[in-house]
Amino acid sequence: MENRRLAVLCSHLRPVGPGSGSGSGSGSARLSASGCSFGSSDGDRGKKKQRSRDPGDRGSTKDCVFCRIIRGESPAFKLYEDEKCLCILDSNPLSHGHSLIIPKSHYSSLEATPPDVVAAMCSKVPFIGSAIMRAAGCDSFNLLVNNGAAAGQVIFHTHIHIIPRKASDCLWTSESLRRRPLNFNQDASRLLNRVREQLSNVSEESKGQESTLS
């Protein structure tokens, strides 16, 4: 399970090609290290594997490992907690201090997560990220969301990765790849128009987020 998780993640962050290598604030919010044991049991891994194979079950909280952690049924190292969010150490970190910000309510994807919950999660990133960088002895981090199976999402309970970085850590070889400039041609224009058209189809849940672009 974990090998698949890392392989899928790295496949999207290490594309094969020429030159490539291998929320709201709360006074009661707290930063603390939980005394519980670290990692997931074999049973939890099996449930996560079953969950990732069954897209139709993504709305269920029964076997969601993050929901189990939130309910206190599975162990984790808790770094931060408030009324909407929980931050834990990733049980299979890509770097020292790799952590996850998780909403306490279950949403299978980022687009299914209400804007106020996304805002609550994101508002904690500077505070928690700064603490993690100091504790991990680094001065940088990646903020990452794997949204959907093709993007490397394995646990279908939306979450944000905070991945501490150090200079020359060679975590992702894709960072050394040359980026191609955007061509201002008909393809780009068509894409622009399609995205704006989708943004203009405002649903009831998205009202108040309309673009000011005409």
The H or E element containing residue 144 is strand 140-144
Q: What's 63-92 look like in SS3?
A: CCHHHHHHCCCCCCCEEEECCCEEEEECCC
φ and ψ at residue 162, rounded to 5 degrees = -110, 115
32 contact partners, CB below 8 Å, separation of at least 6: 78, 79, 80, 81
The H or E element containing residue 42 is helix 42-53
SS3 150: helix
**Rounded CA separation 158/66 (Å):** 9
Q: Which positions are annotated as active-site residues?
A: 159
